[in-house]
Structure 1
């Protein structure tokens, strides 16, 4: 940062390194080392002499001094970072039903086969929990430092670990520059203002939006590390900045949790579906039902309020139906289970039949339902027009008794489109997290989630598909 500022000011006034050395009484070699980043901790006297030689105005001089202090702070930060690998946040709950996903992502990131992984899925599906597991495995198994940045969202079930002073702010700044909302990013270049003596002065406050990215790259350098960006909402990340960071840090891996694909070169999209839930046509015993991941999570949450509870054969149909109606979505299962403080299973099941959406409001007041609806609104808005229309028709339950289950042939019959066109529309629904695939008996089938059907905005349901009402 300091070296780039010096080079920028020197070029602006048309000085060579030799001429600046003569004006400032600093050696040519010292100026060259500063500009090329080989020297990052200039002394106060050196900064003052360079500013005098460049004839900087008050604001530009203050920015140069701030950049020098930042270089000194970064050096101290790097010393602390290099002393001990930074640990990931500690999860506060047990991972359930994600062994294959966690193993696959850990292997890909550890080997370097994939360096930019984007975990996508429905709101509340467990993207953060999977990222925590993968980060913990990479840290304990391969010694990766884990640099964790989280965007604003609901309360999270982990405990952040301590690190060197200033590290969290640097990681957050880097994540904001690369994956923050495009409109909130500072401009990429400076503006010029006049000074009282008539000379031009480059205003550098907030001008280098990649300052934190550059400092982050200098911190990581060529050592293995994992950057986790949890809860990124933008659909337009800074692709140039991401490419540059991965190039400057050849051993860095980036794991992002988001709402959809970015289309970045080298991006590994990983669509995370809900937990496996009970099948509608199958008969279960308490033992066989209790082994299904969605049921395990539901019972785990239930026993937090009723520790004595044991699943009986009489309760099997109700538990299976609750987990199936909630699509195996972890956040929905937790919210529904919280109501068992005051409801019995039969009442909870009836409430889900009457008003599925209301049960996503946690008994303690954590409104998962509102967050889910807002996230769904964003997802639906990103769909192409034909995808939104198809989703609206599927949510209306105009086929197959209203269960939301369909094949490509059903979409072709509904829309009049060719199978390849229908395939693209269905793929859009899958990537948006509003539907999931099912492969039974050698056939590909798909299902719109019950929760999506419950929350799909009514205004979207009047949309048409290729002119068919």
Structure 2
């Protein structure tokens, strides 16, 4: 915990955390973040001091948030509280949504600059990817490749990793915007989605030039998730990169885009724990997951991910020798 958190006055940082400065964007702050926070804390039998110890957030900041339901936390504060409370997927999403300031009229309709952080809230924790998050965050932050593509097979966790990285690096960009391309099929469809994401009015005839004009020379991070579904996605992205000198594009795709200057980051599946046994014959590696020691299973990121996803649909699920 930061030593400054022990002061009676939370100080400028603590007041900003609880006052809503450096807020994340969204729609459901009217639910009252402070009320939800207090409810989840008391449901778990935690005092404000105990939650502060678990989360690394000062007691003063927690108290200010709970006393004033209209206050909203900074992203760093929100993450610490959510992790410390051990919320399930539904509760986590509810609290994250409540942390977002009330939505004004749609930026797309009014042609206004979008919220500084236009990212979806994570609906699950990220498991076993600490090294990858650190590596990819450094790659996106530094003055180097402006097009970074996370590749790997379907279901390996590309989208969740890229979203985590985008949230981690928000302070290094003036704007951060995400586009879900998984349901798109053409460059025209992607261009329209980009137009909406950056806050341009719909109906613009020259779509990509309009998107580029909106981004301009701003230090802007664009996350394009599921680009393998879009024909000629690389052409549109390269066009934007050429027009916008400070734009950085983080892409997820099953394969590289093949664009000039692209940096590929391949994401491998989490390792599956194995146990020793006698080989059955030539070519048999002599490994058996069923006989893996329980301690090894308990510390396996792959198993931890399995348990978390399973509990989302079957509360109380545990790993046993029978499953």
TM-score by length of 2: 0.52
1:286 to 286, 294, 304: 294
Aligned to 1:28: none
CA positional deviation for 1:174? 5.4
CA positional deviation for 1:298? 1.3
Aligned to 1:109: 140
CA positional deviation for 1:92? 0.5
Contact kept in structure 2, 1:222 and 1:249, CA below 8 Å: yes
CA positional deviation for 1:294? 0.9
Match of 1:228, SS?
A: strand
Gaps of 5+ in 2: 1-106, 198-202, 277-286
Residues 144 and 291 of structure 1: is their aligned pair in 2 closer, same or farther, counting only changes over 3 Å?
Answer: farther
Match of 1:96, SS?
A: coil
Pairwise mapping of residues 431-446 of structure 1 onto structure 2 (< 5 A)?
none
2:87 is the alignment partner of 1:87: no
1:269 to 246, 264, 271: 264
Match of 1:233, SS?
A: helix
Residue deviations 1:78-136 (CA, integer Å, cap 9, x gap): 4x33xx41331101111011111111111111113221011111111111111110111
CA distance in 1, matches of 2:179, 2:313: 32
Aligned to 2:175: 145
Aligned to 2:308: 300
2:221 to 203, 226, 246: 226
Pairwise mapping of residues 29-48 of structure 1 onto structure 2 (< 5 A)?
none
Gaps of 5+ in 1: 1-72, 155-167, 177-204, 319-344, 346-469
Higher relative contact order (CA 8 A, sep 6+): 2
CA positional deviation for 1:262? 2.2
Contact kept in structure 2, 1:236 and 1:262, CA below 8 Å: no
CA positional deviation for 1:301? 2.9
Aligned to 2:9: none
Larger radius of gyration: 1
2:210 to 208, 211, 215: 215
Pairwise mapping of residues 231-380 of structure 1 onto structure 2 (< 5 A)?
231-234=226-229, 237=232, 239=234, 241-281=236-276, 284-311=292-319, 315-316=320-321, 318=322, 345=323
CA distance in 2, matches of 1:106, 1:144: 16
CA distance in 2, matches of 1:289, 1:118: 31
CA distance in 2, matches of 1:109, 1:217: 20
CA positional deviation for 1:243? 3.1
Match of 1:91, SS?
A: coil
2:193 to 172, 194, 199: 172
CA distance in 1, matches of 2:172, 2:192: 21
Residue deviations 1:43-97 (CA, integer Å, cap 9, x gap): xxxxxxxxxxxxxxxxxxxxxxxxxxxxxx999634x33xx41331101111011
2:174 is the alignment partner of 1:134: no
CA positional deviation for 1:300? 1.9
Residue deviations 1:415-445 (CA, integer Å, cap 9, x gap): xxxxxxxxxxxxxxxxxxxxxxxxxxxxxxx
Aligned to 2:6: none
Aligned to 2:130: 99
CA distance in 1, matches of 2:158, 2:257: 16
Contact kept in structure 1, 2:116 and 2:176, CA below 8 Å: yes
Q: Which one has the bigger helix percentage?
A: 1
Aligned to 2:45: none
CA positional deviation for 1:266? 0.5
Residues 92 and 144 of structure 1: is their aligned pair in 2 closer, same or farther, counting only changes over 3 Å?
Answer: farther
RMSD, aligned α-carbons: 3.4
CA positional deviation for 1:240? 5.0
Residues 310 and 234 of structure 1: is their aligned pair in 2 closer, same or farther, counting only changes over 3 Å?
Answer: closer
